[in-house]
């Protein structure tokens, strides 16, 4: 049998062993065998001629990264991948903890509020005189503009401009609220001004 045929057989054996490695947990033994097949195939091709060896080296260099990428992509869907990883989440919200704070944010979907600052696209909004971190849906929103909560992503409210008139909202914003310590003068808090 010609050496180039042996090199092709070793290359195909390496590809088959890499495929088996995706379904059979071997602790890397099959991966080492596949690597030896690839190296052996290249070595045997170089024994035929330098040109055949370079062709086999190029083919192997193209096939191995493709196999590794395909393995990483498809491995979670294989029986052994599902057994090890479990069920993969279908939606990004499934990986977030189901805490009381997160449920509270989910309850705000559909509610309306006012922006506390210009949102470019992030900022804060006020709903019922409480301030929340928010991000707009792809557009800048001016300060004190009415907004509606449309979603919650990564612990932030997602808002869009609301068509409502401002009369639907309370006249007092959180920045003017009496319980907002940041809006009160330092003298009223009973703290000495460190800059004085």
138 pLDDT exceeds 50? Answer: yes
134 vs 180, more confident: 134
Check whether 36 has a pLDDT greater than 50: yes
What is residue 96's predicted lDDT score, i.e. its pLDDT? 55
Q: What is the DSSP letter of 89?
A: P
**Region 14-38: what's the mean pLDDT?**
85
The confidence score (pLDDT) of residue 26 equals 80
**Band (5; pLDDT cuts 50, 70, 90):** confident
Give the per-residue pLDDT at 179: 61
Res 89: pLDDT: 60
Please give the pLDDT value at position 172.
47
Q: Is the pLDDT of residue 87 over 70?
A: no
Q: Give residue-wise pLDDT tens across range 146-168.
A: 988 888 877 788 888 887 654 34
How many other β-carbons are positioned within 10 Å of the β-carbon of residue 191?
Answer: 8
Q: Which CATH class is domain 95-189?
A: mainly beta
* End-to-end Cα spacing for the chain: 95
The number of helices, as runs of H, and strands, as runs of E, in the chain is 5, 5
Which of the four pLDDT bands, split at 50, 70 and 90, describes residue 13?
very high
Distance of CA 159 to the CA centre of its chain: 21
User: Residue 67's pLDDT is what?
Assistant: 81
Instruction: Tell me the two tokens of residue 99.
Output: 């805490």
Question: pTM of whole model > 0.85?
Answer: no
Higher pLDDT, 54 or 188: 54
Tell me the two tokens of residue 30: 């099959």
Predicted pLDDT of residue 168: 47
20 pLDDT more than 70: yes
Mean pLDDT score of the chain, rounded to an integer? 78
pLDDT for residue 82: 75
Query: Could you tell me how far CA 56 lies from the centroid of its own chain?
Result: 38
On the question of pLDDT at 135 being above 50, the answer is yes
């Amino acid at each position: 049998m010609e050496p180039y045929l042996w090199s092709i057989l070793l290359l195909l054996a390496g590809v088959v062993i890499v495929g088996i490695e995706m379904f059979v947990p071997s602790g890397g033994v099959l991966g080492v065998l596949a690597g030896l097949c690839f190296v052996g195939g290249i070595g045997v091709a170089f024994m035929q001629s330098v040109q055949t060896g370079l062709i086999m080296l190029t083919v192997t260099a193209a096939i191995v990264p493709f196999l590794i990428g395909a393995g990483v992509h498809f491995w979670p869907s294989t029986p052994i991948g599902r057994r090890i990883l479990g069920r993969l989440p279908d939606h990004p919200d499934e990986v977030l903890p189901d805490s009381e704070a997160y449920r509270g944010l989910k309850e705000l979907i559909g509610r309306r509020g006012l922006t506390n600052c210009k949102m470019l696209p992030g900022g804060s909004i006020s709903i019922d005189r409480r301030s929340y971190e928010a991000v707009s849906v792809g557009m800048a929103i001016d300060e004190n503009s009415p907004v509606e909560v449309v979603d919650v992503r990564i612990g932030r409210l997602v808002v869009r401009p609301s068509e409502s008139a401002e009369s639907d909202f309370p006249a007092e914003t959180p920045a003017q609220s009496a319980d907002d310590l940041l809006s009160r003068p330092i003298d009223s808090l009973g703290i000495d001004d460190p800059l004085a």
